[in-house]
C-alpha cells in the first residue's frame, strides 16, 4: 500500500467508466506513454487486490489491436481527410497557379527563343577570356570544385580539443589553400560570365558571401596573433562560418536544390499556418495560465510532467509548455499533474488550486487535436503539395527543354531558308549575266512552228514499212513584251522559219544542259549588236538591253501574267502579205 492511510490509489488513466476509458484510449492513440497504460492493464488483478506483474498477458492483444487499428489506420485516415479537404479548398487557387505557371513557361520559352536569335554573350571575348569561359563551362570544373569542398569538409572534421601544434599548422595551411581555390573559382566565373551575369544567380551570390567570410576569418586570425586585441568570440564565430562552405555543394545536387525550392515556395502558405499556430498557442497559453498557473510541484505534490522547465505560471513558459505538448512529448504526464486529489478547492485559493476533472482533460484533448493532429499535418500537406508541384515543374522543364531543342532546329531551318532567300534576292538584284549565244536573225513579224524530232527508228521492234510517222506533239510557248523587248520562252527545241528580205532583230538564247531538261530562254532586243566570233560565242558583257530580266528565271508556269499569252498548239509559219 503506497498510502499511509491504507487506501488504494487509483491510476489516472483507467477503464473504471466510459469517460475514463475514452480518455485512456485517446492517450493510447497519441502513442505518448501508451506502454505504461498497457503494463497497468496487464498487471491488474481485481478490485482491492494487489497487482501482479504480467497477470494476464492475453490483454496485450487488446492494446496492440487498438494501436494497429486506431493509431496506424484511423488517425492516418483522419489526417488524409484533413489534407484532402485542404486541397479541395485550394482547387480554384491551384487552377490560377497552373495558368500562371503555363504563362510564365510560355514567356520563358519566348525569351529563350529571342536569346537564340541573338549572338552569344561571349562573342566579343578575347582569346584568354574565351579560354577561361571554356574551362568554367566545362563539365569537369564543377566536379573539381566539389572534390575540393569534400576535402575541405574532411579537414574541418579533423579539428578537436587540445590539438597538437603540427595539426593546427597543417589545418591552417589547408584553410589557406582551400580559400585560395574558392577565390580563384569566383574570379574565373566572374571573368567568364561577366560580373553582372555572375551575380545574377543566387547561388553565385552565396559563393561570394562564403569567400568574403573566409577571407575575413583569415584576416582576423592573423590579426589575433599580432598585438591588435580581438574578441575571441568573433574568431570562434568566423571559424564556425567555415561550415557554410558545405552549402556550395547544394547547387551541384539537383535533388537537394529541388527540396529547398519546394520549401521556399511553401513558405508563404506555411507562414499563414504559422500565424494560425501562433493564434492557437496564444489563446491556449492565456487560458492555461488562468487555469493551471497556481499549481505547485513539491514533495507533497510530486509532478510527472510539470516542473522547472514546464509550467503555466507565466505566459512565456505556458507558450513553451504548449509547444512541448504539440510535439507529443509527455503531454499525458502534464495532464495528469493537473488532475490532483490533494488541492485547495476554496474560492480565494492562491496556491495549488483544484482544477475541474472535466475542464482539464477537455483543454488538453482539444489542443492536442488542433495542434498535433490537424495543423501539423496541414503543414505536411502543404509541403507534400509543393513537392508534387515541383515534380510537375521538373517534368514541364524537361518538356520545355525538348520544345527549346525543337525551336532551335526550327530556327536553324528558318535561318537556312532566310539565307537562301537572301542569296536569291542578292542574285536577282545583281541581275546575273547568263552566258548568251547568238542563234538566228528573225523578221519583225514572225511565228514559231513547233516540230518534235523524230525519235522513232524504222528498225525498232514493232515498226514496219507501213508504220505511220510520229505526229508532232503540241508544244507550249509564251511571249510577253517588256522594257527589254519581246521575251520568248519555249519548253523544247523549235525550228524557226524566216525570210531574208524582212528586217531582222538579234535573238539570243541561253545555253541549256545536254538533256534539254530546262526550258530555253530567248530574248529579242532592238539594235544589231554584233559579237565577234561565231554563233557559239558567250556574251560575257552584253549590252544593257541584253541583260536577262529577273522574271526569266521563274518557272514556266509562274511566268504567265496579264501581258502574256500561252498557246496550247503549234503555230504554222505565217508571214505578212
* Dihedral over Cα of 458, 459, 460, 463: its sign: positive
Is the separation of the CB atoms in 109 and 404 below 8 Å? yes
What's the gap between Cα 482 and its chain centre?
A: 61
- The CATH number assigned to the domain with range 122-252 reads 1.20.120.350
Domain coordinates of the chain in residue numbers? 18-75, 122-252, 286-381, 431-453+470-567
In whole angstroms, what is the distance from residue 169 CA to residue 154 CA?
16
User: What is the full per-residue pLDDT of the chain (577 aa) written as tens digits?
Assistant: 455 566 677 788 888 888 888 988 998 888 888 888 888 888 888 887 888 888 888 888 999 999 889 888 888 888 788 778 877 777 777 777 777 777 777 777 777 667 666 677 777 788 888 899 999 988 889 889 889 988 998 998 898 888 899 998 999 899 999 999 999 999 999 999 888 889 988 888 888 998 898 888 888 877 765 666 777 777 777 777 778 777 777 777 777 777 777 777 777 777 888 898 899 999 999 999 988 888 888 777 788 888 888 889 899 999 999 999 988 888 888 988 888 877 777 777 778 787 888 888 899 999 998 888 888 888 887 877 777 777 777 777 677 777 777 777 777 787 788 888 887 777 666 654 444 444 444 444 334 443 333 333 434 444 444 444 444 444 444 444 444 444 444 443 333 333 343 333 444 444 333 443 333 344 433 333 333 323 333 333 333 333 333 333 233 333 333 333 333 233 333 333 3
What is the Cα–Cα distance from 509 to 92, expressed in whole angstroms?
A: 75
Inter-residue contact 238 to 217 (CB < 8 Å): yes
Q: In 3D, which of 42, 33, 17, 30 has the Cα closest to residue 66?
A: 30
Distance CA 296, CA 314 (A): 13
Write the DSSP symbol of residue 502.
S
Cα torsion angle, 285, 288, 290, 296, sign: negative
User: What are the tens digits of pLDDT across the range 503-549?
Assistant: 334 444 443 334 433 333 444 333 333 333 233 333 333 333 333 33
- Predicted TM-score (pTM) of this structure: 0.57
DSSP 59: G
CA angle 251, 252, 254 (to 5 degrees): 85
Sign of the C-alpha dihedral computed for residues 361, 363, 364 and 365 taken in this order: positive
Q: At what angle do helices 315-326 and 331-338 cross, to 10 degrees?
A: 130
Q: Which three cell numbers stand for residue 442?
A: 528573225
Question: How many other CB atoms sit within 10 Å of the CB of residue 427?
Answer: 12
**Residue 36 in contact with residue 305, Cβ under 8 Å?**
no
Tens of pLDDT, residues 196-233: 889 988 888 888 998 898 888 888 877 765 666 777 77
Question: Radius of gyration over alpha carbons of the chain, in Å?
Answer: 48
Q: CA-based angle 278:284:287, to the nearest 5?
A: 140
Amino acid at each position: 500500500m503506497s498510502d499511509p492511510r491504507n487506501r488504494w490509489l487509483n491510476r489516472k488513466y483507467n477503464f473504471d467508466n466510459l469517460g475514463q476509458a475514452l480518455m485512456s484510449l485517446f492517450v493510447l492513440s497519441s502513442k505518448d506513454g501508451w506502454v505504461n497504460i498497457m503494463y497497468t492493464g496487464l498487471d491488474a488483478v481485481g478490485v482491492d487486490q494487489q497487482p501482479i506483474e504480467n497477470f494476464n498477458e492475453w490483454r496485450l492483444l487488446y492494446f496492440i489491436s487498438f494501436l494497429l487499428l486506431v493509431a496506424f489506420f484511423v488517425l492516418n485516415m483522419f489526417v488524409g481527410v484533413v489534407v484532402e479537404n485542404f486541397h479541395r479548398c485550394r482547387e480554384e487557387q491551384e487552377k490560377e497557379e497552373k495558368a500562371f505557371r503555363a504563362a510564365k513557361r510560355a514567356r520563358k520559352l519566348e525569351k529563350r527563343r529571342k536569346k537564340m536569335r541573338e549572338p552569344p554573350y561571349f562573342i566579343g571575348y578575347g582569346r584568354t577570356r574565351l579560354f577561361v569561359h571554356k574551362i568554367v563551362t566545362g563539365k569537369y570544373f564543377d566536379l573539381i570544385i566539389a572534390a575540393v569542398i569534400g576535402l575541405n569538409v574532411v579537414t574541418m572534421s579533423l579539428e578537436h580539443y587540445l590539438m597538437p601544434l603540427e595539426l593546427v599548422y597543417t589545418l591552417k595551411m589547408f584553410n589557406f589553400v582551400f580559400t585560395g581555390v574558392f577565390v580563384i573559382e569566383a574570379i574565373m566565373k566572374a571573368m567568364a560570365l561577366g560580373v553582372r551575369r555572375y551575380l545574377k544567380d543566387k547561388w553565385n551570390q552565396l559563393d561570394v558571401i562564403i569567400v568574403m567570410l573566409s577571407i575575413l576569418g583569415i584576416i582576423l586570425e592573423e590579426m589575433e596573433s599580432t598585438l591588435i586585441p580581438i574578441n575571441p568570440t568573433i574568431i570562434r564565430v568566423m571559424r564556425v562560418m567555415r561550415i557554410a562552405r558545405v552549402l556550395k555543394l547544394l547547387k551541384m545536387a539537383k535533388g537537394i536544390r529541388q527540396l529547398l525550392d519546394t520549401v521556399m515556395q511553401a513558405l508563404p502558405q506555411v507562414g499563414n499556418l504559422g500565424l494560425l499556430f501562433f493564434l492557437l498557442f496564444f489563446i491556449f497559453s492565456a487560458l492555461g495560465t488562468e487555469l493551471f498557473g497556481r499549481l505547485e510541484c513539491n514533495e507533497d505534490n510530486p509532478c510527472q510532467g510539470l516542473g522547472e522547465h514546464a509550467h503555466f505560471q507565466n505566459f512565456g513558459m505556458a507558450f513553451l509548455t504548449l509547444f512541448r505538448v504539440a510535439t507529443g512529448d509527455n503531454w499525458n504526464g502534464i495532464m495528469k499533474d493537473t488532475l490532483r486529489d490533494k488541492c485547495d478547492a476554496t474560492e480565494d485559493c492562491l496556491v495549488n488550486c483544484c482544477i475541474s476533472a472535466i475542464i482539464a482533460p477537455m483543454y488538453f484533448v482539444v489542443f492536442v487535436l488542433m495542434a498535433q493532429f490537424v495543423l501539423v499535418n496541414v503543414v505536411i500537406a502543404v509541403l507534400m503539395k509543393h513537392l508534387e508541384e515541383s515534380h510537375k515543374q521538373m517534368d514541364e522543364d524537361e518538356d520545355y527543354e525538348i520544345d527549346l531543342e525543337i525551336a532551335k532546329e526550327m530556327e536553324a531551318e528558318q535561318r537556312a531558308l532566310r539565307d537562301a532567300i537572301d542569296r536569291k534576292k542578292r542574285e536577282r538584284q545583281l541581275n546575273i549575266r547568263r552566258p548568251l549565244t547568238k542563234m538566228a536573225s528573225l523578221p519583225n513579224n514572225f511565228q514559231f512552228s513547233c516540230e518534235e524530232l523524230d525519235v522513232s527508228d524504222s528498225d525498232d521492234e514493232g515498226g514496219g514499212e507501213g508504220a505511220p510517222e510520229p505526229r508532232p506533239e503540241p508544244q507550249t510557248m509564251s511571249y510577253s513584251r517588256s522594257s527589254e523587248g519581246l521575251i520568248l520562252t519555249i519548253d523544247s527545241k523549235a525550228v524557226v522559219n524566216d525570210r531574208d528580205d524582212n528586217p531582222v532583230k538579234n535573238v539570243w538564247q541561253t545555253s541549256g544542259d545536254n538533256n534539254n531538261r530546262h526550258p530555253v530562254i530567248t530574248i529579242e532586243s532592238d539594235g544589231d549588236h554584233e559579237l565577234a566570233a561565231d554563233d557559239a560565242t558567250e556574251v560575257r558583257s552584253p549590252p544593257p538591253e541584253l541583260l536577262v530580266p529577273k522574271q526569266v528565271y521563274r518557272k514556266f508556269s509562274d511566268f504567265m501574267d496579264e501581258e502574256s499569252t500561252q498557246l496550247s498548239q503549234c503555230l504554222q509559219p505565217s508571214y505578212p502579205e
